Amino acid sequence: MTSSELWTRATADRYDAEETEMSSAAVLGPTLAFLAELAGDGRALEFAIGTGRVGVPLRERGVPVVGIELSEHMAEVLRRKIDEDTLPVAIGDMASTIVPGKFTLVYLVYNTITNLLTQDEQVECFRNAARHLEPGGRFVIELDVPPLRFLPPGQGAVPFDVSEHYLGFDTFDLVEQTLVSHHFTRDGDDGRYRRGNSRHRYAWPAELDLMAQIAGFELERRVADWGGEPFTQDSAKHISVWRANLRSATGLSM
């Protein structure tokens, strides 16, 4: 059983409306170009496909896409946009669910690997990606760098969005390597805010590289954004590409 929290129907129904910026052409354009180039003439598998923010337009670009999604409610929203034959989705967790066939690309965007709340599950996510990839195929993760440089001694919270209609901040447990994202969203004009939160296990790039090595991958590229800007010590996030090791891929258990 995965430790990921399950998205509710209410959250799924609100998701697209609350993520309009992440669904904009400015954000999706470079994302889709990056993923389509890696997929080439092969198929792509999206772990935690959600409502299809990335998977649906990638399929519309001509890349055959299959998804795995834990929340049936999120998958139901996706299904309003595209039919099952065009974009199949398996309901299950991304650390263990297996779908038929092989892929040239497996990808996991928007910090979603942090939904797995233990290191063991995150390692299994890498292993599950390896199971699905053709030899030499790529596994891509988009993930924020933990903002612990903004956490002075004695302070437990870091804001990530402060605006008129939304307040978001993370609280950290540095011993357990987990965080809770707190969201306060203004509903209507009556001044009331809707509160929500979600738990995550953050991971550093070097830790992900070790997970990748355990699963039979080699780091091919790491950049700061989908446009390919260099990754530096000041980068807020990274896009990491690991390639299935040709020498070890055939030895992975199915």
pLDDT at 249: 42
> What's the pLDDT band for 250 if we cut at 50, 70, 90?
very low
Considering the domain 9-146+203-251 in this protein, what is its CATH number? 3.40.50.150
Query: Which range among 38-42, 136-140, 175-179, 184-188 shows the weakest confidence by mean pLDDT?
Result: 184-188
Query: Which one has a higher pLDDT value, 113 or 15?
Result: 113
- Beta strand pairing status for 193-201 and 217-223? unpaired
- DSSP code of residue 49: -
Cα–Cα distance, 171 to 159 (Å, whole number): 9
Coil vs helix vs strand at 180:
strand
**pLDDT tens, residue by residue, 41-76:** 999 999 999 999 999 999 999 999 999 999 999 999
> What's the pLDDT band for 171 if we cut at 50, 70, 90?
very high
Q: Which helix (H) or strand (E) holds 142?
A: strand 133-144
**pLDDT tens, residue by residue, 198-244:** 999 999 999 999 999 999 999 999 999 999 999 999 999 999 999 99
